[in-house]
Structure formats: structure tokens, C-alpha cells
Structure 1
Amino acid sequence: MAGGFLHAGRAVRSVDLGAHESHGPQRLHAGRRVEAGFRGGGHSSSQLQLRVRPLCGHRRRCARLRRGGRHRRLPLPAESREPPAVPGQSPRAVSALELGRPTDRKRPFKYSALTRVGFSDTDAQGIVYYGRYLPYFDSARVEYHRHLGMLETARGEQEFVMRANTIEYLAPARFDDLVEVFIRVSRIGRTSVTYDFAAYRVEDDLLMVTANQTLVLVDLDERRPYAIPEHYAGQIAAFEGDDLGR
């Protein structure tokens, strides 16, 4: 088809239809009406002249924009008031929601968190890439501390950093597997905390991965170990009980 672009409110170049014919008005998806008519007074010319005109609703909207000024700024969706993530709950209450639970099913573990294997977690073999278990353990540790009311989001003068990480892989997980990660604090030293993890596939209760991680509390300015406060160690000891090593 020969011709050019369609412009609202003005005629475009003639279109050669060849042996094809078109009759009557047509409607475009863009909300404009196309009126068709043959040039030259007859069909023999095989030339069709198109005129695109905005529909009534479109014209009214254009008129409103002109009255408000050419550069009038329209409200963006992001400026509207957004409902809370959970209806009826404040943001603080939502942040307190746990993705884990206390449990006594896998002693000496007393807490577990759930995660589901995403497609991006798998590798070319179709199983969970070995490095993806670390985020699973990180998430479980966050939920553990959330349960104890120890999740501090503000950056302080001292923070825990990873000192050692040992992982043993026993069985593979695959896309969409529901994984339950059991977590506990096995030891608290003067400046360090040691966590144990065990990841099970929920469907058949298969143990897939175990891990042991040691984190050290450091002073951020000096980058040196810092003594763990007694109240911090006390909260964990109250939850872990006699299973906690000191």
C-alpha cells in the first residue's frame, strides 16, 4: 500500500488501493474516526483520500487540556494515596509479620522459616544453584531475629559481619519446591555468634543442605571486634535455653 502517515485533523496523501475498494467510515483503535472517499469523482481513479478526525470524547479532552494551559501538569498515579500493604494494618504492624514460626519438630532447632524456590534460583542442571542457599539462610536469620524482637533496621556503630561459613549439600532442590529452613544459635562468644541451619524440602521432609555460620560484631569505624552486649546475648539465651553454648 502506498501512502503516508495519518495525522489527526488533516488529509494525508492519496492511497492506491489497486483492485481493492473500501466504503463508509472506519474506526481506528487510537480513538479517531477515518472518513474515506474516492478522488476524481469516481472509482476509476483507484485513489482513496483519508481524513482522520478525533472522536467527540477525544476532542473534549483536548479542549480541557487547552483551557488548562498547554503545559498543564497532570497528576501521576504515584501521587495518589496508596492503600497499606495489608488492609487495616499500619506499616509497623506489617513489618512485624513473620515468615517463620517457632517449632520443636527438629530438635535442637526451635525456629524455622519458609521459602519457595524461584526459577532464577536454578542453574543449567535444573536444580538450585549452590550459592542461592545463602540468601535462604539470610532470610531465615532475619525472621529468627524478628521473632525475638531484635530486628534493628537502623544502622548503628557496631554491626555483625560474616567470619566463617561452612555448607554441606546432601540433596538437590528444584523449581517451585517449598523449603523449610531451620535455624538456631548454637553458641555465643565474647564477640561472635554461631548459627546452625538445616534446609528441608517440605513435600517429603528431605534434608537437603546444612550450614554453620559464625558472625562477629565489629566496630564500624575501627573495623575491630566488639564485645556483644549482655542484653543481646540474654534475649537469645532466653529463647534457646540449655541448648545454647557459651
Structure 2
Amino acid sequence: MPIAALVTGASRGLGLELIRQLGRGERPPRYLFAACREPEGAGATELKNFAKCYSNVKIVKMDVDDLNSIQETAEQIQKVLKDNGLNLLINNAGINFGGDLNGITPEIMMKTYTTNVIAPVMVTKALLPSLMQAAQQSDQHSFSSEKAAVINISSIMASMEMFNIQNGKAYSYRISKAALNMVTKCLASELKPHGILCASVHPGWVKTDMGGEKAPLLKEESVQGILKVLARLSEQDSGLFLDWRGQRLPW
């Protein structure tokens, strides 16, 4: 496991489960930053209770839609890490308003794009010095999630090749995740010379507040699979779109 990792959207759902499984793993990160919008709110109660039991878990306030909040948190993290870099960034925070063409509005589309696309770019940009520091300090010559990696949580609903014509709604969500996949491709290309791996991961249709009760996959199973995938990522996987089982998905 990496020395230092950060997960956005960590107060519930997949984000919270990622923190749980990373935090209590056999080789947990020395620094595990759980970023959420309202650490003191009722919605973060489970996260706070978990953090009380694991000293390596550090809850940080980050509103991914607010550039000042992102930058302040990045600076805070760097102070904690000191001479250590950030090995793993998981851009997990995301929203889905669903809806068909009649229900979509410019406001919904812009809000979704801001959270699902712009935010991961800005979070990665703010934390890039720490990611580069981790890559430079590593004694590993190959790419890996233990050295330096950016993982964007995407969705199979972003795939144009696998588009289901019988269920073509959720405009803003599909469009934003397709754009996020292009962000992954761009990051993988630009950050390769610095030794930083980038990939998009589809977590499956998961039983969470976003996925709903009809989802067939438990978050525990999804995250367990994701972490196994991350552990075996290599340079050949940088810029790819993978699912929680490690299978390559078409764009």
C-alpha cells in the first residue's frame, strides 16, 4: 500500500468504504486523508467514528466545487506530509441527478460537470506537487499505485460503445463521466514523464445512495475489487478504463 493516500467524497458510499478498507488493511497507508465537504456535519458521523479508531486516518475539509477550499486543503496536506509526497489520489466525489431530456436543465448540467469533471482536474492540479514528490522519492522504476497514481472513479455509463439504447437517460451524468475519461487520458499522457500513473475505474453498479437499492453489488465487494485492481496496476494500464474486476472497458 502507498505511504500516503487521499480519497475525495469520503463521508459516505464508496468513498467511506475506500477509507475503511484502506485504513484497516494489512499494509495501511501511514497517512490516509479522508476529504469531505462537511466533516462536522451529521453526514460524516460514520467517518468520524472510524477515524477515532485509526490514527492514520485524517479527515480534511474539502469542497471539490470550491477552488479556494481545494487549494487550502492541498496546502494543509503538504504540511502534514512534510518531506513525504502523496502516492495515491482517488477522485471519488461525484453526483448524479439522473433525468431524461424533459427534466434536464442548464443548471443541472453545469453542476454535474463542475463536480464530476472540473473538480477532479483542479484537485489533481493542486496536489500535483505532492504526487510528483512521491514519484521522485520512490525507489520503484515502474509505474504503480504505491509510487504515484491518480485514479478517477468513472462509470460504465460513460462508454459510448456499450451504450444501452433502451436506457439512454441520465444525460448530465453520462456526459460528465465520458469527459472524465478524457481527463484520465490527458493526465496519463502529460504525467507519464513524471512517473505518475492515471486510470479510470468503473466500480460497478453499487448499492449506495447514488446506486440505489436495486443495485446488485455491495460496496464492500466493489471496493475490495478496486483495491485489488489498484495493487496490480502498471505502466501498461496508465490511461485505461477498467472495471472493479480489472477488465478493460471500451470508451
- TM score, norm. by length of structure 1: 0.22
More helix by share: 2
Q: Which has the bigger relative contact order, CA under 8 A and spacing at least 6?
A: 2
More strand by share: 1
- TM score, norm. by length of structure 2: 0.22
